[in-house]
Amino acid sequence: MGDQAGGHAALAELLSGNRRFVSGQPVHGHDVTAAAAVASGDQQPYAVVLGCIDSRVPLEAIFDQTFGSICVIRTGAHVLDRAVCGSIEYVVGQLGVRLVMVLGHERCGAVGSAVDALRSGRRPGGALGYVVDRITPAVREVGADDPDAHPLAVRRHVRRTVAALRADDLLAGPVAAGEVAVVGALYDLATGEVALLPEE
């Protein structure tokens, strides 16, 4: 299996896991036990998923994954920082993972905060301000005053995050060579379904 095929196979497995979850027939969903954790032995993850902290979007569950199968990183609205990028570089460079998925979701509170901040002109303080600042460009691109600014910005922010990862110092080469795929997707809170965002 070539590197490109590895990325495709990884994506197929992630999406089929989501279908198992949606259909109510997970293979791993019931097996959240210490025994299953111990049985996983060494980790051989095949994908890394970067998602939001939203408590309704537990990534291992919605992809029906088990111990050792995927690496998960979660920040508010999957905002990137150096630690997130370095973690993904580790998973790709050291663990040989060929697929990076950025997963946004409908009704994202962090994106909502960025929309509110632009509309009101009041930026949150503290580190939350940093998170909002990282989402703000997506809101500006779709237009903060657009009635659909929130859902549009959710999608735009996924695309921006994907683009940033494809341009990452250590990921750009493998991505250009077709060895690593970075894809964007959306989680639908109403159905549990994950849908890939089409390339633009």
Residues found near Zn ion in the complex (CB under 5 A): 52, 54, 108, 110
| Residue position matching structure tokens 């959306």 | 186
**Shortest distance in whole angstroms from residue 20 CB to Zn ion:** 23
Q: Which is nearer to Zn ion, 52 or 71 (CB)?
A: 52
**Shortest distance in whole angstroms from residue 105 CB to Zn ion:** 6
Q: Which is nearer to Zn ion, 110 or 114 (CB)?
A: 110
Q: Which is nearer to Zn ion, 106 or 141 (CB)?
A: 106
What does the alpha-carbon distance between residue 108 and residue 189 come to, in Å, rounded to a whole number? 10
What does the alpha-carbon distance between residue 123 and residue 145 come to, in Å, rounded to a whole number? 16
Q: Which is nearer to Zn ion, 98 or 150 (CB)?
A: 150
| Residue position matching structure tokens 């040989």 | 96
Angle of the 109-120 helix axis to the 126-142 helix axis, nearest 10? 80
**Shortest distance in whole angstroms from residue 113 CB to Zn ion:** 10
What does the alpha-carbon distance between residue 100 and residue 183 come to, in Å, rounded to a whole number? 6
Q: Which is nearer to Zn ion, 79 or 97 (CB)?
A: 79
Q: Which is nearer to Zn ion, 179 or 193 (CB)?
A: 193
**Shortest distance in whole angstroms from residue 117 CB to Zn ion:** 15
**Shortest distance in whole angstroms from residue 52 CB to Zn ion:** 3
Tokens of 56: 């309704």
**Shortest distance in whole angstroms from residue 112 CB to Zn ion:** 8
